[in-house]
Amino acid sequence: MEPEWIQSIVEEVVRQLGRKEAVQKPNQVPLAVSARHVHLSEQHLAILFGQSYTLKKKSDLSQPNQFAAEETVILSGPKGTIERVRVLGPSRHLTQVEVSQTDAFKLGLTPPIRQSGDIKGSSPITIIGPKGSVYLNEGLIIAQAHIHMAPDDARRFGVEDGQYVQVRAETERPITFERVRIRVSPSYRLEMHIDTDEANSGFIRTGQTGEIISAGQTQSTCHSPVLIEEKQTIIPLFEGKLLSQHEVKQLDGPVIRVGKTTIVTPLAKDTARELGKKIEVIDE
């Protein structure tokens, strides 16, 4: 067997094992780091690489039917250029360029953070290929961190398409991603995509996992008063082993939450009743 063959088989096995382990633990999602890349429309592909040009597949990406092409382009902005930027296939309806904030500084451009496909009003960018160049009025974005998942995964996590969640990565430099968008489609495979800046800030490499630690709000209810109200009524759990009359008098608020294992003295119960406070026992 050719060494490259063995290498790729080993990598695939490791990848599958990692995936299995990730789905066995509840709320775990495999992390993948997206480097800067370009999606091209048929029209722009023809301008950059020549009429009737077909992209050559270099390697498959984790999402079904998506691939990294052999072809690369040069990105150019007012302050600088970035060479050898990977083209991803297949062609799309609209050309879109995804970079990190660090890349944007180098180019001298200010792309917005957007979900893939949402390029209206985004940053202009010049793309240079071997046969020509294209100036786009819009199309340069910084990708919003997101998790691809199938409907089954969404049910398991109790989340829906378009919702934002928090994801914690326990690495050497632990990090929590606050606004991670859920993207659900039957054609998706479970994976969270972050850019190189996000990965670097948390010492993350592709293949590691993160944990969904809380489900946020959907975009449509971003400023919903219901959610704000919910936040205000969160009451901390009393963590002592014994809840006595003394604690009942001291603790603020109409509700005292205790764990199942905390002993509540009869006098504490009487005092709570007298003061109009409710003692709530929580399953920890």
Q: Residue 193 CB, nearest distance to Zn ion (Å)?
A: 4
Q: Residue 148 CB, nearest distance to Zn ion (Å)?
A: 6
Query: Judging by beta carbons within 10 Å of its beta carbon (0-12, 13-18, 19+), is residue 30 exposed, middle or buried?
Result: buried
Closest C-alpha to 27, from 180, 174, 236: 180
Helices (H), 57-170: 101-107, 151-157
Q: Residue 62 CB, nearest distance to Zn ion (Å)?
A: 9
Q: Which is nearer to Zn ion, 134 or 182 (CB)?
A: 182
Residue 181 interacts with Zn ion (CB under 5 A): yes or no? no
Burial 54-70 (b: 16+ CB within 10 A, else e): ebeeeeebbeeeebbbe
Residues that contact Zn ion, how many (by CB under 5 A): 1
Q: Which is nearer to Zn ion, 44 or 193 (CB)?
A: 193
Residue type, 266: P
The piece of 97-105, 118-126, 187-195, 225-233 that touches Zn ion (CB under 5 A) is 187-195
Residue nearest to Zn ion (CB): 193
The piece of 49-57, 106-114, 188-196, 219-227 that touches Zn ion (CB under 5 A) is 188-196
Instruction: Compose the 66-85 pattern: x for residues touching Zn ion by CB under 5 A, - for all others.
Output: --------------------
Contact 155, 208 (CB under 8 A): no
Residue 277 interacts with Zn ion (CB under 5 A): yes or no? no
* CB-based contacts of 84, cutoff 8 Å, min separation 6: 72, 74
Q: Count of H helices and E strands in the chain? A: 8, 19
Residue 39 interacts with Zn ion (CB under 5 A): yes or no? no
Q: Which position among 193, 251, 257, 277 is part of the footprint of Zn ion (CB under 5 A)?
A: 193
Q: Which is nearer to Zn ion, 107 or 194 (CB)?
A: 194
* CB-based contacts of 220, cutoff 8 Å, min separation 6: 162
The piece of 133-141, 153-161, 163-171, 189-197 that touches Zn ion (CB under 5 A) is 189-197
Which residues of the shown chain bind Zn ion in the complex (CB under 5 A)? Answer: 193
